[in-house]
Structure 1
């Protein structure tokens, strides 16, 4: 339905304020003797009923409808009725009021008589707010599911369950939306009502069928035929389950129909390709356990799952594939450009992926692509290019397929300048750690025996932990400093081999410094006041946990 034009005038400020705050007394005063005031609209075409519905003022809405019932089907500039706004904002009381009035309106004898009269020209008089659509083609049920208001959605479904299968301008039904949002109660309510599917509508949908999302068990019970459906991008239910990394759903789908693992989408990608691209390790394991030979399948570019994981930079997925796929041929398979997964990692400057592949004995690093380049020569060429250009910015458009719109990625290559700064940062941090820990060696906690030159707490277990941790921190930092000083001699070898060790040694040095701090405070403070010492220990222990919580597994990898 076409959206209404915005109103040229404006609403009475007093009426607008009354609708915003739900003041029924002000409403009666303002419209006394002049009901036309209720027909005034805001610049966006909202009536007083729209405003009250969006704010959830059921009593005010009831008062307006008693004075002018036709406002229940009034539309604003976006084509929204008051029920649309109540649905968007999850206003249950207002929705219940309008649902009851809509049902009474539909059952009224005069409405039925107008519906049977072929001379009736005013379509609005025959419409019910439950089925009216806005500018996007959404019914109130579409909007309430879209905004995840389950309680209001269930009320609308009780009133009219047929709306659950109506398609909007994007060919999505409320059932599709509810399944994608994971609203299990809503989906269960919809599928419990018998419905004869319109196959044409399912096929035309550019989004996804309901089976493609989080409520597979429910849909399999009610609409098993959806297993054979795919979206406009050729993705079937298993493609979506693999993307979401839902291991339980992947196993269930494979149990129902194993051949889904071998189905390709519009880009000739199997569910394993999709799982590798999105880093879905649980799905990868489930797919390979049930269908190990699916790893041999190639996409439109001649790439297998190893290529997909490398291209997307998903090191967890690549690590999972290396553990679960045995044939060396797959690790050294060349795509249409002649690139093996290692060559592709080198070309895209994905250091972590290159590290994982180089360390696998099955990978052949001497394979050349169609241009005669090896992985090492590609890295050297990339390094030389980065020396001449500080950064390389590349914009590319990616077709998301399925329910995802085509989107633009801004791809920034790791530059030589960034590598220099990374090395300088590591050297600075390691130097500071070495300096601090060296100084702490000669300022032992609580001092020395002035006559014997022996630490006063040398017999204490906490002191022994301090000495060991302080030594570990200083020695780790010294190793990092010396390794990174030699980084400039061969940057390519350093990036592929030594950078990761330097990063992890820096982490070890930092952790050892934390232990030194905690033991020092315990030795010096605990004898007189224990609780401050315990608080410091608790803070020290929680520090690594906070870092892991923020960065996850990424903390153990070099940020390149």
Structure 2
């Protein structure tokens, strides 16, 4: 086989594979090896490809070897428009990799490309991306500017996802690229809403929290503010979703009416903010447009309903602070449900408790089936599905009804169903609490006879009895022991009526156990301080620091719900 045959490496299917030496030369930019392998009189050698259909020019562009690429183009200029397996031209690869010098070389060749042939500047790969799309997508700002200088109109080309380089640049925060694109006077359908979920460039800038780009687009392309994505969301819906307060302010300052626009689900931006728990956006929206709280969606639900359904207690708290009319808090949807009804139906205990603490919320309202929020929660009592959180809520609802609904007709109160011996999980809970409480009582009882610092052998009086720390020890130790004794007796009697115990005593049993544990921590810290501090202070202070941080660690891990017991 002659030298040329070796370099071309034709397989059984007739495909020409690249010579390994040429591959190494292209990836390393070895011009001298290229000149040895390629004959200027026979440029077909350079048409050989890798399995991914990359030519030597693709490899040089990808690795940034401008001199090598120039030599290749000098031998075979047609390689400039050859696509690889992904449909990428060498300019696409240079744009992705951010190889600026190679890109300038390829762009200059593309500018001089014959007008009767498709220019590399407008060629797209399989994703429908031009080289400019790829440069912006990979955040190659300087390279994108070079491409825009060569052909400014490419900034509005749409790919398969209906995204233009302007969309991408706005999302990625490439201010210089955005300014370059919007400065070019382009006539066409640039203001048509996108057929995809991505919306307009303004939507993308809002999503990316690029406020400078939002300002540029509002100034240079003001018509974008009225456009929506395929779900009917305008840019303010996006700002509300992402809780971008500054974007909300910018958009409302430009067009206040945006706050009253609905998407295809009939949701206003305030609904969206409530759904996603965007408290900063809620604050901004209600400050500019306080009456937007009156808007309802297709189910007749306002922002209070939405925040409850989505379980966003922070959003509900923000709404309660800023919305005044009581009618909005007690408004019924098309199914006759108030926000409190929805909280009860969907086990949104935290939201329900927030609503109950607000005097404007009426717990006496009945839905279309005659249920109050209390009777809705009550349904789970007989099925055994009610957990400790809902039991606590049930008690609060009963209490509020008793206080505020005496003159109204209400559903009858349920009685405690009798359930004994059929709840294995409940048995384990009771056994665990009895065991823990017994251990605490045993330890604290023994600590009473081994007081820190010891006793006076003659009269039996504690040697450190006059210290404040000792007095704190005695009190905390007593609290721990007495609390645990109460828990033991409570749980011993739990078997008399397990369901009633779950509702009325279990939560307090759990809380007393927590109190006993906290009191034991205090006993530990004071005992160590009394016995260790006189000889060496720093170990005593370390123990105190660890002890005081323990409750904070527990709350951090379990949240405020640590005061409840899951049953």
Q: TM-score normalised to the size of structure 1?
A: 0.72
Higher RCO structure (Cα 8 Å, ≥6 apart): 1
Q: What is the aligned partner in structure 1 of residue 200 from structure 2?
A: 209
Q: What is the aligned partner in structure 1 of residue 366 from structure 2?
A: 368
By how many angstroms is 1:378 displaced? 3.0
Q: Secondary structure of the equivalent of 2:192?
A: helix
Q: What is the aligned partner in structure 2 of residue 449 from structure 1?
A: 455
By how many angstroms is 1:218 displaced? 2.8
Structure 1: state its 5+ residue gaps.
1-6, 389-418
Q: What is the aligned partner in structure 2 of residue 84 from structure 1?
A: 92
Q: Secondary structure of the equivalent of 1:489?
A: helix
Quote the Cα distance in structure 2 between the aligned partners of 1:380 and 1:424. 25
By how many angstroms is 1:489 displaced? 2.2
From 269, 273, 295, the equivalent of 1:275 is: 273
Judging changes above 3 Å, is the alpha-carbon distance between structure 1 residues 177 and 524 closer, same or farther for their aligned structure 2 residues? farther
Q: TM-score normalised to the size of structure 2?
A: 0.71
- Give the alignment of 1:33-432 within 5 angstroms: 38-47=46-55, 49-50=57-58, 57-59=63-65, 62-68=67-73, 70-88=78-96, 91-92=97-98, 94=99, 96-108=100-112, 111=113, 114-115=114-115, 120=116, 123=117, 126-128=118-120, 130-150=121-141, 152-154=143-145, 156-157=147-148, 160-191=151-182, 193-196=183-186, 198-199=188-189, 201-206=191-196, 207-212=198-203, 213=206, 214=209, 215=211, 216-382=214-380, 428=432, 432=436
Quote the Cα distance in structure 1 between the aligned partners of 2:80 and 2:514. 64
Question: Do 1:62 and 1:97's aligned partners in 2 also have CA atoms closer than 8 Å?
Answer: no
Quote the Cα distance in structure 2 between the aligned partners of 1:482 and 1:27. 91
Larger Cα-atom Rg: 2
By how many angstroms is 1:315 displaced? 1.1
Structure 2: state its 5+ residue gaps.
1-13, 387-422
Quote the Cα distance in structure 1 between the aligned partners of 2:534 and 2:22. 72
Judging changes above 3 Å, is the alpha-carbon distance between structure 1 residues 294 and 446 closer, same or farther for their aligned structure 2 residues? same
After TM superposition, the structure 1 stretch with the greater mean CA deviation from structure 2, 464-473 or 142-151, is: 464-473
Q: 1:258-313: per-residue Cα shift (whole Å, max 9, x none)? A: 22221111111111111100001111122222222211111011111111111111
Q: 1:193-231: per-residue Cα shift (whole Å, max 9, x none)? A: 243464454334532223331323332232333222222
Question: Do 1:434 and 1:473's aligned partners in 2 also have CA atoms closer than 8 Å?
Answer: no
Quote the Cα distance in structure 2 between the aligned partners of 1:280 and 1:170. 28
After TM superposition, the structure 1 stretch with the greater mean CA deviation from structure 2, 371-380 or 476-485, is: 476-485
Judging changes above 3 Å, is the alpha-carbon distance between structure 1 residues 463 and 87 closer, same or farther for their aligned structure 2 residues? farther
- Aligned CA RMSD, in angstroms, stands at 4.5
Question: Do 2:555 and 2:562's aligned partners in 1 also have CA atoms closer than 8 Å?
Answer: yes
Quote the Cα distance in structure 2 between the aligned partners of 1:548 and 1:477. 21
By how many angstroms is 1:41 displaced? 3.5
Question: Aligned pairs, how many?
Answer: 499
Judging changes above 3 Å, is the alpha-carbon distance between structure 1 residues 78 and 506 closer, same or farther for their aligned structure 2 residues? farther
Quote the Cα distance in structure 2 between the aligned partners of 1:325 and 1:374. 23
Q: Secondary structure of the equivalent of 1:104?
A: helix
Judging changes above 3 Å, is the alpha-carbon distance between structure 1 residues 279 and 168 closer, same or farther for their aligned structure 2 residues? same
Q: Secondary structure of the equivalent of 2:86?
A: coil
Question: Do 1:431 and 1:478's aligned partners in 2 also have CA atoms closer than 8 Å?
Answer: no
By how many angstroms is 1:238 displaced? 1.7
Judging changes above 3 Å, is the alpha-carbon distance between structure 1 residues 506 and 307 closer, same or farther for their aligned structure 2 residues? farther
Quote the Cα distance in structure 1 between the aligned partners of 2:431 and 2:289. 48
Judging changes above 3 Å, is the alpha-carbon distance between structure 1 residues 534 and 437 closer, same or farther for their aligned structure 2 residues? farther
Quote the Cα distance in structure 2 between the aligned partners of 1:316 and 1:530. 44
